[in-house]
């Protein structure tokens, strides 16, 4: 093959994977690097906004009897500061880094559901704008970042501020869930051939675990927020004890999300630390299996700690002990990671650049935050320190030390990959020292202030308590910290234009992203790599083209018919499974997110017509999205004849040993033989990316259902009589008929290859079941504002009906699609997957509504 042919193949790949130019390109882009970068820089903008809010808070507290802010503005600023940092900066920047770098680290070309990824970004952006739009209306949220009722009920927060918070946060969390679905499917199914579970880089492991946690944690805050918004808009008394509700229900739902949220932020940050440490001390992180096990252990254990945020609400002492034990033990896997990094630095050859200094800062600050974490996990101590500045100091040590420092280490470390330019080391180190010193001056004194009795969330304090010096130091420190942040960002901004060129791998790092160009071209890799090692770039030098190395074999080295092809592999062994074709640029994500936002604004301002119209338009857009140009976007080769001829030629088949194509003439014969062995048996099998997306998405949906069912039983356990005397038990006749219809519909949908007629029939039966369900609810005479029982029953019924209605829409769309593309198995398997999941959840909700009151 000549250089000219190789150049032509490269140009063809670039063209195939390119985004459109200009504004149209901005609105239609789906490429993981563009979307990832947007997440990162949007999050940085929100970091600056949240930082300004923090500085105003510190100015107010710098002196006793401060007058910079009034009490109302102070409440608004600490609410928006916490909300911005937790929801609009922390999660999005980590998701952005994962979206940008995980596909590169695992050797693929894009995320598996790129349009969904773009949709997630627009939802995040619009949700963030909506939250901050409250500053323009004057109705700024002021109930704290955890929005406890009854403070956030209409009685005590009558304006629209809390509605801004509830709707904005819910929208942003949905974006988070979407990103999580993407990353889980990506890492489980789209790793480079040979990248077994034990060869996944630690940052990618941490991104996978972060995303898995988000699927189980975020639905709880979505459910809690929806219940509170329904209470505020329609008077449903979920959190009102006078009508059978309980404000502690909010605390349980919120902290079942809120505690894992801390680790959702922390774990990917530790993944960044692992990546930076390995690259900058020039050896792999020691005890890889132990570090992975620690990540998993922390992730799981974090779901059993939520009550330690509620130690002072009056729970039995034994309950406090059970949760304190779990809280202590999470220090064990955290400590294992810390010792692994220290040992790696000890054993390696450190290059003391800016990223490694940020890691050192992380280690010092995070360990201090961890120690105070063990202190507040001790119930008697927590009773003294609760709601004081000691807790403020503790969580800033954990969150700034544990998240911001690693993120900045990662930004400096990966900046050359994103831009092809090197930031200034001297300015980077100066920024680090400003941040490190400023941070400790700002927050260490707050431990002492808390122990002296200075409580959180009060806008000022009187003179004469001896708190002035520590508060002034804290304020000065916060400004020094802010100067460090600004200097760091200015360094990156300057380097983007004028930094020295970095080349593809300025650090001599080990993972696959450094094998791509800097910045990576549209298609990431000219041909997909085959991986035989945890550190493929380092092992390449040692072994040459062996099976322990990164091999260049020309796989998918030339696009076929302009299609965006990637390789799907098996979960554990990463054996090739099928070629998948990804969709290209499209407007659907943007317009769908815009329609949903208009619906949200309608709810916010009580313009119900706008809300309904926005929802209907969004559904129409979703149908358009699902049916978009299926010929061009055929997702999966259904048989070998659908596979690119170049690909088959490159890898060889039983009949044809293969011949030279598309750059593979550069690879030695040994590599070609192994590549052929790898791919010759490749017959497309397994489920499509969309099927995996639906299954992972159903996990989040099931968690929302679980949160609502949890709310039902929590309210039931606190009630003297259930149902209350006003709420007669509903007759079972019509609900049983609905159940029968839905069950038969489910049975008819069971056969994977069932006829289209059976699925149409099942659709009709399910529609009948849905109609009967609506009739039963309307006929029950239940009112959403009557009492907590009737309110939660109505919410469960609406949730069940929504599941069924969406199932009907999915089926109708997919059946039409199946008729248009009869050889494509994807519409049928997507339909069956969602249908089964939705019907099972519907049946669970039916049992809770109709059976639970009779037996529990």
What is the per-residue binding string for another protein in 637-676, x denoting contact by CB under 8 A?
Answer: -------------------------------------x--
Q: How far is the CB of 576 from another protein (least distance, A)?
A: 11
CB nearer another protein, residue 247 or residue 718: 718
Residue number with CB closer to another protein (447 or 674):
674
Minimum Å gap between C-beta 538 and another protein is 13
In order of 204, 533, 572, 654, 663, the CA distances from 537 in angstroms are: 16, 9, 22, 32, 20
Q: How far is the CB of 57 from another protein (least distance, A)?
A: 36
Residue 542 CB, nearest approach to another protein (Å): 15
Measured CA to CA, the distance from residue 570 to residue 692 in angstroms comes to 12
| Position 722 contacts another protein (CB under 8 A) | no
Question: Measured on CA atoms in the order 237, 240, 244, 247, is the torsion positive or negative?
Answer: positive
* Site for another protein contains 333 (CB under 8 A): yes
| Rounded Cα gap, residues 603 and 789, in angstroms | 24
Residue with tokens 């949160």: 707
Q: Return the residue of 137, 312, 321, 755 that touches another protein, per CB under 8 A.
A: 321
Is 197 a residue that touches another protein (CB under 8 A)?
Answer: yes
Nearest-Å Rg of the Cα atoms of the chain is 28
Instruction: Indicate the helix (H) or strand (E) that contains 565.
Output: strand 564-569
Stretch that binds another protein, among 215-223, 316-324, 501-509, 808-816 (CB under 8 A): 316-324
Our finding on whether 332 is near another protein (CB under 8 A) is: yes
Output the smallest distance, CB 661 to another protein, in A: 21
Q: Measured in Å, how far apart are the chain's first and last C-alpha atoms?
A: 75
Q: Which stretch binds another protein (CB under 8 A): 191-199, 553-561, 723-731, 752-760?
A: 191-199
Q: How near is the Cβ of 300 to another protein at its closest, in Å?
A: 4
Phi-psi region of 144 (alpha: psi -120 to 50; beta: other; left: phi over 0): left
DSSP-based helix, strand, coil % in the chain, nearest 5: 70, 5, 30
Instruction: Count CB neighbours of 528 within 10 A.
Output: 26
Contact letters (x/-) for another protein, 699-718, by CB under 8 A?
A: ------------------x-
Strand, coil or helix: 753: coil
Q: For another protein, which is the closer residue by CB, 200 or 708?
A: 200
Residues near another protein (CB under 8 A), total: 42
Q: Should residue 851 be labelled a site residue for another protein when binding is judged by CB under 8 A?
A: no
Under the binding rule (CB under 8 A), the answer on residue 374 touching another protein is no
Q: In the bound complex, what is the minimum distance in angstroms from residue 197's beta carbon to another protein?
A: 3
Are 274 and 291 in contact by the 8 Å Cβ rule? The answer is yes
For residue 139 the two structure tokens come to: 């109705």
Of 1, 56, 59, 296, the residue at the interface with another protein (CB under 8 A) is 296
Sign of CA dihedral 751, 754, 758, 762: positive
Residue closest to 493 by CA, chosen among 412, 439, 436, 434: 412
- CA gap 573, 559 in Å, rounded: 26
Instruction: Tell how strand 564-569 and strand 576-582 pair up.
Output: antiparallel
Question: Tokens 């005479």 identify what position?
Answer: 781
Q: Which of residues 535-594 bind another protein (CB under 8 A)?
A: 547, 572-574
Answer for which of 187, 307, 700, 702 binds another protein (CB under 8 A) is: 307
User: What are 91's two structure tokens?
Assistant: 């999660």
Output phi, psi for 580, to 5 deg.
-115, 135
Q: Does 301 bind another protein (CB under 8 A)?
A: yes
Q: For residue 617, state whether it binds another protein (rule: CB under 8 A).
A: no
CA distance 290 to 275: 16
Please identify which residue in 297, 473, 615, 719 interacts with another protein, judged by CB under 8 A: 297
* Distance, C-alpha 373 to centroid of its chain: 25
Region binding another protein by CB under 8 A among candidate stretches 328-336, 395-403, 406-414, 644-652:
328-336
8 A C-beta contact, residue 774 and residue 735: no
Q: Decide whether 120 or 658 has the Cβ nearer to another protein.
A: 658
Q: How far is the CB of 249 from another protein (least distance, A)?
A: 15
Report the alpha-carbon distance of residue 806 to residue 618 in Å, rounded: 13
* In the complex, least distance from residue 285 CB atom to another protein, rounded to whole angstroms: 10
Choose the binding region for another protein from 63-71, 193-201, 366-374, 742-750 (rule: CB under 8 A): 193-201
Residue 320 or residue 770: which is nearer to another protein going by CB? 320
Cβ burial, residue 445 (10 Å; 0-12/13-18/19+): buried
Q: Cβ of 639: how many Cβ atoms within 10 Å?
A: 9
Least separation in angstroms between residue 321's CB and another protein is 4
Identify which of residues 325 and 851 has a Cβ nearer to another protein in the complex. Answer: 325
Of 173, 151, 175, the closest CA to residue 162 belongs to 151
Minimum CB–partner distance for residue 292 and another protein (Å)? 7
| Stretch in the footprint of another protein (CB under 8 A) among 57-65, 327-335, 473-481, 821-829 | 327-335
Pick the piece of the chain touching another protein (CB under 8 A) from 322-330, 503-511, 554-562, 634-642.
Answer: 322-330
Quick check: 325 binds another protein (CB under 8 A)? yes
Q: Which region, judged by CB under 8 A, interacts with another protein, from 112-120, 312-320, 493-501, 621-629?
A: 312-320
The two three-digit tokens of residue 772, written as one number: 């009967």
| Nearest Cα residue to 524 out of 514, 533, 509 | 514
Q: Are 377 and 327 in contact (CB under 8 A)?
A: yes
The smaller minimum CB distance to another protein, of residues 92 and 284, is found at 284
Closest to 146 measured CA to CA, from 201, 224, 236 = 224
Closest distance to another protein from the beta carbon of 784 (Å)? 28
- Residue 59 or 300 having the CB closest to another protein: 300
- CA 593 vs CA 46, 434, 476: distances in Å: 20, 40, 42
Does 623 contact another protein by CB under 8 A? no
Rounded to 5 degrees, φ, ψ at 530 are -115, 130
The answer to the question of residue 719 lying near another protein (CB under 8 A) is no
- Any contact of residue 316 with another protein (CB under 8 A)? yes
Residues 276-295 that bind another protein (CB under 8 A): 284, 286-290, 292-293
Judged by beta carbon, residue 125 or residue 305, the one nearer another protein is 305
By C-alpha distance, which of 202, 187, 176, 375 is closest to 264? 176
Work out which of 1, 52, 68, 322 binds another protein, going by CB under 8 A. 322
Positions touching another protein (CB under 8 A) are 194, 196-199, 284, 286-290, 292-293, 296-297, 300-301, 303-304, 307, 316-319, 321-326, 329, 332-333, 534, 547, 572-574, 674, 677-678, 717
């Amino acid at each position: 093959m000549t250089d000219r042919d190789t150049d032509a193949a490269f140009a063809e790949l670039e063209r195939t994977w390119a985004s459109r130019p200009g504004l149209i390109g901005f609105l239609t882009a789906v490429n993981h690097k563009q979307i990832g970068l947007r997440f990162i820089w949007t999050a940085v903008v929100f970091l600056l906004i949240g930082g300004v809010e923090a500085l105003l808070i510190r100015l107010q507290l710098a002196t006793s009897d401060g007058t910079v802010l009034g009490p109302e503005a102070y409440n608004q600023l600490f609410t928006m500061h916490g909300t911005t940092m937790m929801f609009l900066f922390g999660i999005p920047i980590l998701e952005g880094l994962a979206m940008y770098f995980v596909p590169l680290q695992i050797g693929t070309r894009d995320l598996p559901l790129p349009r969904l990824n773009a949709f997630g970004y627009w939802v995040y952006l619009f949700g963030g704008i909506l939250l901050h739009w409250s500053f323009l209306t004057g109705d700024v949220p002021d109930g704290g970042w955890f929005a406890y009722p009854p403070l956030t009920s209409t009685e005590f927060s009558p304006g629209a501020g809390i509605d801004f918070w509830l709707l904005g946060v819910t929208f942003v969390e949905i974006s988070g869930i979407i990103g999580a679905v993407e990353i889980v499917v990506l890492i489980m199914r789209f790793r480079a051939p040979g990248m077994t579970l034990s060869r996944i880089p630690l940052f990618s492991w941490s991104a996978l675990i972060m995303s898995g946690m988000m699927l189980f944690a975020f639905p709880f805050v979505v459910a809690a927020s929806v219940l509170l918004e329904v209470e505020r808009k329609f008077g449903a008394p979920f959190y009102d004890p006078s009508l059978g509700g309980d404000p502690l229900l909010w605390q349980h739902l919120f902290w079942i999300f809120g505690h894992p949220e801390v680790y959702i932020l922390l774990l990917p940050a530790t993944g960044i630390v692992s990546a930076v440490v390995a690259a900058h001390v020039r050896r792999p992180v020691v005890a890889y299996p132990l570090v992975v096990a620690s990540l998993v252990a922390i992730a799981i254990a974090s779901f059993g700690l939520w009550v330690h945020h509620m130690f002072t609400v009056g729970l039995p002492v034994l309950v406090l002990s059970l949760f304190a034990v779990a809280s202590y033990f999470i220090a064990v896997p955290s400590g294992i990671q810390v010792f692994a990094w220290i040992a790696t630095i000890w054993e390696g050859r450190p290059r003391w650049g800016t990223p490694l200094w940020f890691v050192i800062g992380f280690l010092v600050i995070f360990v201090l935050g961890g120690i105070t974490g063990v202190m507040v996990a001790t119930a008697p101590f927590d009773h003294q320190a609760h709601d004081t500045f000691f807790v403020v100091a503790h969580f800033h040590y954990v969150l700034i030390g544990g998240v911001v420092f690693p993120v900045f280490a990662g930004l400096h470390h990966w900046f050359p990959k994103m831009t092809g330019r090197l930031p200034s080391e001297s300015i980077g180190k100066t920024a680090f020292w400003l941040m490190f010193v400023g941070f400790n001056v700002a927050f260490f004194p707050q431990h002492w202030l808390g122990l002296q009795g200075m409580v959180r969330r009060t806008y000022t304090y009187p003179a004469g308590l001896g708190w002035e010096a520590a508060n002034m130091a804290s304020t000065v420190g916060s400004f020094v910290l802010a100067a460090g942040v600004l200097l760091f960002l200015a360094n990156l901004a300057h380097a983007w234009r004028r930094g020295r060129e970095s080349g593809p791998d300025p650090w001599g790092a080990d993972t696959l992203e450094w094998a791509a160009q800097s910045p990576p071209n549209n298609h990431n890799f000219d041909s997909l790599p085959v991986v035989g090692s945890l550190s493929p770039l380092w092992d390449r030098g040692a072994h040459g083209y062996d099976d322990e190395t990164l091999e260049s074999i020309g796989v998918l080295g030339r696009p076929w018919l302009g299609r965006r092809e990637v390789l799907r592999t098996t979960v554990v062994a990463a054996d090739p499974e099928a070629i998948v074709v990804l969709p290209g640029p499209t407007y659907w994500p943007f317009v769908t997110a815009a329609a949903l936002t208009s619906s949200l604004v309608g709810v916010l301002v009580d313009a119900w017509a706008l809300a309904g119209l926005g929802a209907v338009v969004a559904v129409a857009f979703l149908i358009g999205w699902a049916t978009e140009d299926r010929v061009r976007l055929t997702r999966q080769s259904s048989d070998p004849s659908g596979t690119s001829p170049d690909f088959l030629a490159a890898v060889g088949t039983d009949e044809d040993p293969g011949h030279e194509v598309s750059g593979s003439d550069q690879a030695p014969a040994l590599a070609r033989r192994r590549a052929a062995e790898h791919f010759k048996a490749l017959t497309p099998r397994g489920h499509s990316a969309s099927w995996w997306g639906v299954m992972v998405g159903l996990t989040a949906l099931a968690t929302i259902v679980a949160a609502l069912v949890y709310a039902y039983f929590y309210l039931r356990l606190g009630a003297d009589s259930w149902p209350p005397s006003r709420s007669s038990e509903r007759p079972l006749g019509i609900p049983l008929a609905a159940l029968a219809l839905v069950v038969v519909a489910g049975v008819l949908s069971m056969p994977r290859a069932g006829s289209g007629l059976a699925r149409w029939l099942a659709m009709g039966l399910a529609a009948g079941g849905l109609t009967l369900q609506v009739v039963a609810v309307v006929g029950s005479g239940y009112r959403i504002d009557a009492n907590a029982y009737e309110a939660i029953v109505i919410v469960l019924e609406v949730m069940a009906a929504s599941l069924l209605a969406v199932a009907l829409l999915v089926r109708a769309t997919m059946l039409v699609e199946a008729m248009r593309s009869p050889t494509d198995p994807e519409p049928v398997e997507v339909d069956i997957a969602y249908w089964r999941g939705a019907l099972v959840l519907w049946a669970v909700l039916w049992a809770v509504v109709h059976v639970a009151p009779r037996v529990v």
